[in-house]
Structure 1
Amino acid sequence: MSEVQTRQRKPNTSDAMRALLNTIRNTIPFGLEDADMCQGICRGCSKKMMEMLDAEVSQWQVDLDNETAEPTFADLAFMEKLARRTYKVLQRNNLIS
């Protein structure tokens, strides 16, 4: 077997976005109640960050399912950055450990 045949195929951007969306869904607790997110001292708005991330995840899922959009590397980077920022806000507000 040649070296080319033994290498695994790299994922395309659609596969990479699907994997990222799955990671986000498994990491971010989207089921939090508004009352849980808005209590005590707020260090960044958890509710707004969650709403923004949920909207982006939902839209990309629809686009990927319907094959209406092909994500770019910039789209992947933006989604990852948004998810990381949301995670940090949730940590600062003691909603996740």
Structure 2
Amino acid sequence: MLQLIEQVKQTMPLDDPETFACGPKGDCIGCPKKLLELVDSEMRYWESAIERGERPLLGELSRFAKLCRNVHRGLARSGTLERYQATQTKRSDESHN
């Protein structure tokens, strides 16, 4: 579960403020803000539960993975992931120069 959480943190724009702003035209495909809030709340729940010593069952791990896959697909369809990755690449290039 911790590996999955780490992978989610690396691939999804959970801390990107642009992702959490609704567009002025309301032309979103799926709501990236709501999708990411759902993943973030589940992720925080499991981080807290694991810190308390709870161990996720296989079914719980499977449901979280399925949620993440579906959200990832929705973010890719709306172009959110592509914009986020382009921003990350640009920031990485700027920090190396």
Instruction: Report the TM-score when normalising by structure 1.
Output: 0.73
Question: Which position in structure 2 is the counterpart of 1:45?
Answer: 31
Aligned pair count reads 78
Percent of counterpart pairs with the same letter? 28
Question: Which position in structure 2 is the counterpart of 1:66?
Answer: 52
Question: In the aligned structure 2, how far is the partner of 1:87 from the partner of 1:73?
Answer: 21
RMSD, aligned CA = 1.3
- Report the alpha carbon displacement of residue 32 of structure 1 after superposing the two structures with TM: 2.3
Deviant stretches of 4+, over 6 Å:
none
Which residue of 55, 59, 81 maps to 1:96? 81
**Higher relative contact order, structure no. (Cα contacts within 8 Å, ≥ 6 residues apart):** 1
Uncovered stretches (5+) of structure 2, i.e. residues with no partner = 83-97
- Structure ranking higher in helix proportion: 2
Question: Which position in structure 2 is the counterpart of 1:24?
Answer: 8
Instruction: Report the TM-score when normalising by structure 2.
Output: 0.73
Question: Which position in structure 2 is the counterpart of 1:56?
Answer: 42
Question: In the aligned structure 1, how far is the partner of 2:74 from the partner of 2:33?
Answer: 10
- Report the alpha carbon displacement of residue 18 of structure 1 after superposing the two structures with TM: 0.9
Uncovered stretches (5+) of structure 1, i.e. residues with no partner = 1-16
Question: Which position in structure 2 is the counterpart of 1:9?
Answer: none
Which protein has the larger Cα radius of gyration, Structure 1 or Structure 2? 1
Question: In the aligned structure 1, how far is the partner of 2:28 from the partner of 2:73?
Answer: 13
